[in-house]
Amino acid sequence: MPWASIVNKQVKGKILSKRINVRMEHIKHSKSRDSFLNQVKENDQKKEGAKEDIWIQLKHQPVPPREAHFVRTNGKEPELLEPSPYEFMAYCTNK
C-alpha cells in the first residue's frame, strides 16, 4: 500500500510542494532524534544517581579543542612556505 508524502522541491527560483507516493517498505524513521533521546535517558540516570547536595552538568558540552603538543621533525629542518607572487596573464582568444 503506497503512502503519500509531500516533499519541497526547488524549481528555478521557487520552492514547490510535490506529492510523491512511497511504498511502506521504503519508509524509515529519522535517526536525528535518537541522540537527543539517549541524552535524555542519560540525564535521568544522572539525576537519580546524584545526591541532593551535588550539582551535576546536564547540558550538552561541545568537544573541546585538542591540547597543545610539539611536532617532531626527526632531525629535518622545517621548510618555510610563502605565497607565490601574483602573475597577471592575459589571453587573447580572438585570432
Which strand (E) or helix (H) includes residue 9? Answer: strand 2-11
pTM comes to 0.41
pLDDT recorded at residue 78: 87
Residues in the chain, overall count = 95
Q: Where are the domains of the chain?
A: 1-29
pLDDT recorded at residue 33: 87
Residue 95 banded pLDDT, cuts 50, 70, 90: low
pLDDT recorded at residue 91: 72
pLDDT recorded at residue 37: 92
pLDDT recorded at residue 55: 85
pLDDT recorded at residue 2: 77
Alpha-carbon distances, residue 23 vs 2, 3, 85, 92, 93 (angstroms) = 4, 6, 59, 57, 55
pLDDT recorded at residue 13: 92
DSSP string across 58-78: -S--PPPPPPP-PPP-TTPPP
